[in-house]
Chains A and B, each alone.
Chain A
Amino acid sequence: MENNNKITEDANSKSLFPANETDRELYSIPANSGWFSWDAIHEIERNSLKDFFDGSSVSRTPKIYKEYRDFIICKYREDPSRRLSFTEVRKSLIGDVTFLYGVFVFLENWGLINFGVSSASRRSSSSSSLLFFDGEDERGGKVRFEERPPNGVRVVSGPYSSKVVSSSDVGDAVESAFKLPPLASYSDVFGDLMRFRGSVCGNCGEECSSVSEKVFSIIVYDDSGIRRICRFKQEIVLTVSPRDESANTDQESTVMCLKCCKIGSSGETNGGDDYKFKDSKDRSDNQGADFWSEAETLLLLESVSRHGDDWDLVAQNVQTKNKFDCIARLIQLPFGEPLLAELMANSIKESVNDRHSISGTDNNEQVQCTPVESPKILKKETENGDLMGEMEQVDDEHSENPPLKRRCVASVKEAGGSLMKQKELNLRVAHSLLSAAILATAVSPNIAAAAAEAALTALRDDIQFGMEEVFMGEMHNDTALLECYSSNDEPGRDANVVEFETGEQNALSETSEDKPAKPSVSLAFQIRAAAATALGAAAAHAKILADQEEREIEHLVATVIETQLRKLHSKIKHFEELGLIMEREYSLIQEIKESVVTERINTLQHFMKAGISRWKDNTAVRSFTSSVS
C-alpha cells in the first residue's frame, strides 16, 4: 500500500503544502480514514451504518447521520487532547441512543474522533508531542516536532470554494515543511484542492467521477511510538475540452466525467474522439512564460555546453529565463532529432509520420516516447547500455556530454528496411533516455530520479487505459526510485525537482493528449510502455550513480578513520618508547646516586683513618656526614 502510493505522494505533497498555509489549524486523522469529507458521505459510512441509509425510519436519514457525525467530530475537536465520551455526546443529540452509539463507535474506530487519545493516558498525553514528517522530510532529514494545537480550536465545516491550482504555487511550496496538529481532516489540509469536488459532469450532470485520486501518505509517530501512515487523496479532475480549441475559444470548456467520455455519449455533435484528456494541473504550463524561442534554446544549449551543470551561470547567459526554466527546457529538448530525420528519412515518412503526430518538426516541445516490446522493459539495465551507445551519436552533434564509446553505431546502420520501424522505436526510446541520461550525468541523480518519477506520475494517471506493460515498468521503477530517494541529500535541489516535474509532466501529458486521436490504441500503450522503460532506465542510471557516490563516500570515510587510527597507534608507540627511555635514565641516575654516596663514605672513612683533624675542613666533613645520614 505504501509503496504504491509513494510516488504520487511525492509529486503532490509539494503542491499541497504551500508555505503560506502554515498558519492554518490542522488535525490529523489516521491513514485509513482519508476518505472522510465534511461535504459528503462516503461509501464506507453507508456500508457501516446501513440503518441511516435504508430509509427505514424518519429518524434515520443521511442528513441526520451527517448532522450527528459533524456534531460529534466538532465536539471532539473543541479539545482534541481530551477523550470524548459517548455520554457527553448523547445529551446534545436527539435520537435513539443505540444508533447514536453506533455512529460514535464508528467514528472512534476510524479515528475521526479520539484519535491519538489513548484511553490509558487520557489526561497525561495532552502535553506530549507528536512527531510528524512527510515523505519529503523523511528523505531530507528535516524533522519537525509539533506540539498539539491550543485547546478550543474548532474546525467548522463549510463549502470550499473552488479555485485552480496554478503551477506557480508549486514553486513556493517546495521548501515548506508542513505542520500537522493531531487531528486533521482531509478538507482541512487540502481544502484548496477540494475545489474540484464540486465539479459536475457537463454531460450527465453527475458529480464528476473521473476524478483520479492521488493518494499520498504522511507518516505520523504517535506518543506510543507506533508508526502510522496517513493517507490523503488529491483529486485531479480530468477536464475534457474540445479538441480544436482555437475554434471554440468563445465556448467554455466543459468538464466531463470519464464515464461519459468512454461511452461516447458526449453529445450529438461531438464524437468521443474530439475530446482529449487534460490534467487540469498542467493547464498553466503551456502558457507564455514557458515558451522558448529558437534563439533562446540555442543560447541555452550553448551556455550549457560552456558551463556544464552550473545552472546559475547558464541562466545568467540565457537571461530571459530563470534557472528552473533552463533545466526544464533542457530535459524537454528532443536531442538527436535531426540525425534521426536523416537516418530514417524514408521509412518515417512512409510508415509513421502520418500516424504519429509526435514525429517530425512540430514536436520540439515533447519528449519523444515510442513503443517498445514489453520484454525490454524488464531488461532495462542491459538495454540502457545499448541505447546509450546509440545515443552517443546524437550526443556528439550537440556536444552535450563527453563522448563515450560508440558501441552500437553499427547496429543503427545495419537496420534493414523491415527492421526500420523497430529501429526507429529504439531510437525514440533513446531520446527519452538521452534526456534522462543527460540529467543523470550533467545534473545529479536525484533530479533525474525526480524527473523520471514525475513522468511516471503522469503515466499513472492514464492507468485506466489498462496497460500492463507500464504497470510492470512502474513496479520496477518504484523500487529504483525509492532507493534513489534514499540518497537524496540536497534540500536545496528540491526546487529544481519540482520544475522538472512540471516540465516532464507537461511533456508527457502532451503526448498523452495526442493519443485519443490515434486510430491504434495499442500503439498508445506501447508509447507509454516505452516512456516507462526510458524513465525506468534513467532512474536505474541515477540509482547507480547514487550508489557509486555512496560507496565512494563510505570508502573515503573508512580511509579517514583508518588514518586517524594509524596516527593514534604511532603516538601510543612513541609514548611507550619515551617511557622506556625515562625508565632507563631513572635507573642510571639511581646508580650514579649510589656511587656518589659510596664515594662520600669512602672519603669519610679515609678521613677517620688518617685521624687528621684539620679544623679548617671540619665544616666540609660535617657537611659530608650530614648529607650521608
Chain B
Amino acid sequence: MLNSEIRAAGIIGTGSYLPDIVLTNGYFEERLDTSDEWIVSRTGIRERRKADDCIAASDMATYAALKAIEDANVAPEDIDMIIVATVTPDMLFPSTACIVQKNIGAINASAFDISAACSGFIYGLSIAEKFIKAGNAKYILVIGAEALSKITDYSDRNTCILFGDGAGAAVVAKVEESMGILAAYTGSDGRGGELLKLPAGGSRLPASCETIKNSLHFVKMDGSEVFKFAIKIMGEAAEKALEMCGLNKEDIDYLIPHQANIRIIESATKRLKIPQDKVFINIDKYGNMSAASIAVALDEANKAKKLNKGDIVVLVGFGGGLTWGAVVLKWA
C-alpha cells in the first residue's frame, strides 16, 4: 500500500476571527418586542458579533486561516487543500475557498466549499482526515466561516437574536500514531430540509422582485422542531462516533458542541450524562455562527489551554439539511 506509514491525521493548528461590532440583547430590546431576560433564558445568548457591511465570509475566513497556518507553523505554499464550510459564501461561485486561496497565496492547494450548514466544519474535518490518511495530501486547511448577519431578517424576533458572524480554521495533517482524529461520523436526513432553510437565490427560486418582497432571501427556521431534532441527534452522533473508535461517553475529557442554543446543549449533555464543566460554551458571546461555531470554539478551547495532549475531545454538530456529525480526537 502506498504511504502505508500514514495512519493518523490530526489538528496541528487552529485560528479564529470575530468581527469587532457587538450586538447586545439591548440592541434587540430597543427595536423588537423582546427582552434580555427572554433571550438569555431561551437561548443563553448575551451578545453576538456582526461583520461590517464591506466584510464577507471570505475575509473572515482569510483572517482565521492565516492564524491557523501560523499556529501550525506551516507556510501557505505547504497547504494542499482548502475546504470552506459555509452557508454564506461571498457568491455562488467562485467558491469562498478559492477566494481564500488567492488571499493567503496557497498556490499549491485545490480549493472548494462544502454545504452542510452548521455541521459543515465536522464534514470538512471528516473529508480532510480521509485525504491525509490516504496519503493524498499533507496539509489541509478546514475553515468554517459565516456572515449570517447578511441572511438574517432583523424584523423576525424568533431568528434574528440567534445568529452571529465569525470564522474558525484548523490545519489537519499527519500526527503521531494513534493520536489525532480517531473517528469522524456524519449523517443526513433530507426529509427534514424544510425545517431550516434559505429559500431563494438558487435555481429553484432565483432572485426576483417577488422573492425580495416575500423576504425569501433570509434564513427560515421551525424552531421547536429543530430543537427536538438537535437534542436527540447530538447525543446519538457523539455516541456513534465514540462507538466507531471503541470508546464510550465516560471517556470524554472535553465536549465541544455546536453552539446553537444553551438549552439544546444542556438538554443533550444531560442525556449524555456529561458534567457541564467538561463542555465548552461560548454561545453567550457569539450566538449561533453555523459552520463557524465549532471551529471558533475549538480554537478558543485550544488557546485557553483547555485541551491537553492525550485528551479525548469530542466535537459534535447538527444543522440544516438536516445534517449532523461528530469527530472524536485524541488531542495531539
Task: Report if A and B associate in a common complex.
Answer: no
Residues of A in contact with B (beta carbons under 8 Å apart): none
Residues of B in contact with A (beta carbons under 8 Å apart): none
